Chains A and B, each alone.
Chain A
Amino acid sequence: MTDLLEIDDLKVRFPVGGGFLSSLGVGPAPSIEAVAGVSLRVKHGETYAIVGESGSGKTTLARAVAGLLTAQEGSIRFQGVELRGLPESQFRPLRRHMAMMFQDPVGSLSPRLTIKYLITEPYRIQGLKDRDLETEARRLLDMVGLSAEFAARYPYQLSGGQARRVGVARALALDPKLILADEPTAGLDVSVQGELLNLLSDLRDRLGVAMMVITHNLNVVRHIADRVGIMYLGRLVEEGPTETVFANPKHPYTLALLAANPEPDPDAVLDRIELKGEPPSLLSRPAACEFHTRCPFVQDNCAVDTPAWQAVEPDHHHRCHWPRS
């Protein structure tokens, strides 16, 4: 059986300011590989979280899936249909089943339109003339826990949490099969983050929608994701069921991420793994294991041999010569 979303060996490259020659089309145009061969599956109704820090390529990956960026290699199949290279006219009907939420809760809402217009826009775009927009607006607002009076407001009149709920309402308008959520808790206060995560898991259970959540916030992952993939420099370095990865991380980078999350307890004793230096530039990727320049457990062969994608358990994989135990 095919999974809802199947990504295979996906590569997304961006041209970077080349020299004079490459601007004339002579010689190879320099480029960076923001997504450098990612393969993953999102099953029906499942929440898959992609975790990584800035520059890991996680947002690029989500945008490539949504067709906002062109992927140069690999394949993205959604409900069995290849999306890569699909013209917008054929992509549009599929967008009914795939919604995306962007990072900035207020900034991702068109500033001069009312909330009612914004949340019913998917019906207009898909040309669903039979829907009563008034009723739909009320239904959607109710679903995300906003009162009907919000319909007449403008985005700038909302708090971050309210704007985020509007974003969720709009994503749900067409009962999608998959929601791509880029940093759903970004810019929200702690108490509001909880509310939003509750809302998302509640909707997922009620509507059976699958989610691909892009985040750097491990707390988000712990509470809503069924499976998690850890990204570093455009590649997955570890993937597995959330509980397994959190309890038994294999890749040193995963370990460092987990440890870098300060505890809200002054007496917490942390066996913290502090990483050396800064993330390398995508223009000069380290050889072999790309994490070896910052890895606290680096061995001789890490700079020489490229580690393979290997399984610890059938559904728990990592890319490390010296996995933690």
Chain B
Amino acid sequence: MAGPLLDIRNLSVHYRTPRGDIKALRQVNLAIPPGQIVGVVGESGCGKSTLISAVLRLMSPNARVAEGRIGFKDQDLLVLSEARMRALRGKEISIVFQDPMQAHNPVLTIGRQMADIQYRDGTSEPEKRRRAAAMLGQVGIPDPELRLDQYPHEFSGGMRQRIAIAMALMARPALLIADEPTTALDATLEVQVIHKLKALQADYGCSILFISHHLGVIAELCDEVVVMYAGEVVEQGSVRDLFHAPQHPYTRRLLECDPGRIKERTRTLPTIPGEVPDLAALPRGCVFRERCTDAIERCATEHPAWRTLSDGHHAACHVAGQAADTKQ
């Protein structure tokens, strides 16, 4: 297959509310090449969750796609019938959620649940069970045959998240969406889960859309990184471009802020003063302008276009590329 696996073009999603429309996503462009791990970074309110629900077509009733397309394997997900979409979910696109405690049905054994999700395959029960055990073994659960008969509460949080990954990969999806899968886990377990995910991705050759606010995890796991701010993609590039030569001022500030990056104990940690703008009453020009230290006059009036800075490195900023290299 040529071209990207998932190709989101110009996607805008609005929520109807009594206060007026909240423009949660605006002209988002995002492409995931086959076999790549693409990380999405952004803080609360940046539109990460809306993006996921749009790709899965599981949006809340007051959400509306204002424009754009979500290309997946040469079809537009936004115009697929509900039946086709259902057939796609869990089979070609699957998801691992943030909270491993709520991802499983508490009254069914893990083995039952893993057999149930193979309902499309039409294989025999023992075969489904054998596959489930093999999959559990792959994500590093010891004694998988025995543990198939246990209930979710008999597993620890880290194990449950690995089981969730096993279940998501069971159908060999082309795209795995991982929504902050390690946020609820302790650091030592987070490392285990990330390594497992990376190894499995290499084995299965699927693409992963990895959502996280943890920059360290993104740097370690992803090939490509997308930075979102207040409902827009502000920068996209390879993980090295992004972490070594960030071009959008927001990306730069965000990286500077990360306490994980600052090894020396400092009097004052860098911050990004100001607040995310109200998505129901957006300012003219660039959304980041009010918090941006590099803003020029043009930023107040003209919304910055999506520009290619170098091969595979894009940003939506008037000053990107010119005011660059002030850092790093």
Proximity bits, A252-268, B CB within 8 Å = 1, else 0 = 00001100111111111
Proximity bits, B163-192, A CB within 8 Å = 1, else 0 = 000000000000000000000001111111
Given A190-B259, A222-B259, A266-B243, the answer on whether A260 and B191 have CB atoms closer than 8 Å is yes
Bound-state Cα–Cα, A275 to B186, Å? 12
B261 at the interface (CB under 8 A from A): yes
Bound-state Cα–Cα, A260 to B182, Å? 13
The answer to whether B220 and A263 have CB atoms under 8 Å apart is yes
B148 proximity list for chain A (CB < 8 A): none
Bound-state Cα–Cα, A223 to B270, Å? 12
A189 proximity list for chain B (CB < 8 A): 43-44, 213
B266 at the interface (CB under 8 A from A): yes
Bound-state Cα–Cα, A193 to B219, Å? 19
The answer to whether B213 and A264 have CB atoms under 8 Å apart is no
A243 at the interface (CB under 8 A from B): yes
The 9 closest A-B pairs by CB, nearest first: A262-B216, A219-B259, A53-B186, A194-B269, A189-B43, A264-B215, A260-B187, A191-B272, A194-B271
Proximity bits, A213-226, B CB within 8 Å = 1, else 0 = 00010111011000
Contact of A261 (CB < 8 Å), options: B187, B243, B253, B275: B187
The answer to whether A266 and B239 have CB atoms under 8 Å apart is yes
The answer to whether B157 and A190 have CB atoms under 8 Å apart is no
Chain B: which residue is nearest A274 at the CB level?
B191
The answer to whether A191 and B240 have CB atoms under 8 Å apart is no
B159 at the interface (CB under 8 A from A): yes
Contact of B188 (CB < 8 Å), options: A53, A242, A267: A53
**Interface magnitude class on chain B:** 35 or more
The answer to whether A216 and B271 have CB atoms under 8 Å apart is no
Contact of A191 (CB < 8 Å), options: B188, B239, B254: B254
The answer to whether B219 and A278 have CB atoms under 8 Å apart is no
The answer to whether B158 and A198 have CB atoms under 8 Å apart is no
Q: How many residues of A contact B (CB 8 A)?
A: 38
Proximity bits, B213-246, A CB within 8 Å = 1, else 0 = 1111111100000000000000000011001100
A272 proximity list for chain B (CB < 8 A): 191
Bound-state Cα–Cα, A257 to B191, Å? 10
Given A194-B271, A219-B260, A265-B243, the answer on whether A279 and B156 have CB atoms closer than 8 Å is yes
Contact of B156 (CB < 8 Å), options: A159, A220, A268, A278: A278
B-side interface residues toward A, CB under 8 Å? Answer: 43-44, 156-159, 186-192, 194-195, 213-220, 239-240, 243-244, 253-255, 257-263, 265-272, 275
B272 proximity list for chain A (CB < 8 A): 191
The answer to whether B187 and A194 have CB atoms under 8 Å apart is no
A197 at the interface (CB under 8 A from B): yes
A-side interface residues toward B, CB under 8 Å? Answer: 53-54, 159-160, 189-195, 197-198, 201, 216, 218-220, 222-223, 242-243, 256-257, 260-268, 272, 274-275, 278-279
Which of B254, B255, B258 is most buried by chain A, counting CB atoms within 10 A of its CB?
B258
B192 proximity list for chain A (CB < 8 A): 274-275
Bound-state Cα–Cα, A261 to B270, Å? 20
B258 proximity list for chain A (CB < 8 A): 190, 264
Knowing that A159-B275, A193-B257, A242-B265 are A-B contacts, what are 14 other residue pairs whose CB atoms are under 8 Å apart, sorted by A's residue number?
A: A190-B213, A190-B257, A191-B257, A192-B271, A223-B262, A260-B188, A262-B190, A262-B191, A263-B260, A264-B215, A275-B188, A275-B192, A278-B159, A279-B156
Contact of B219 (CB < 8 Å), options: A160, A268, A275: A268
Bound-state Cα–Cα, A274 to B140, Å? 14
What is the distance, in angstroms, from A131's C-beta to the closest C-beta of chain B?
Answer: 31
Given A159-B44, A191-B257, the answer on whether A260 and B190 have CB atoms closer than 8 Å is yes
A268 proximity list for chain B (CB < 8 A): 219
The answer to whether B254 and A190 have CB atoms under 8 Å apart is yes
15 CB contacts below 8 A, A to B, read: A190-B215, A193-B259, A194-B257, A194-B259, A198-B271, A222-B259, A222-B263, A257-B188, A261-B216, A264-B216, A264-B219, A266-B240, A274-B191, A278-B156, A278-B158
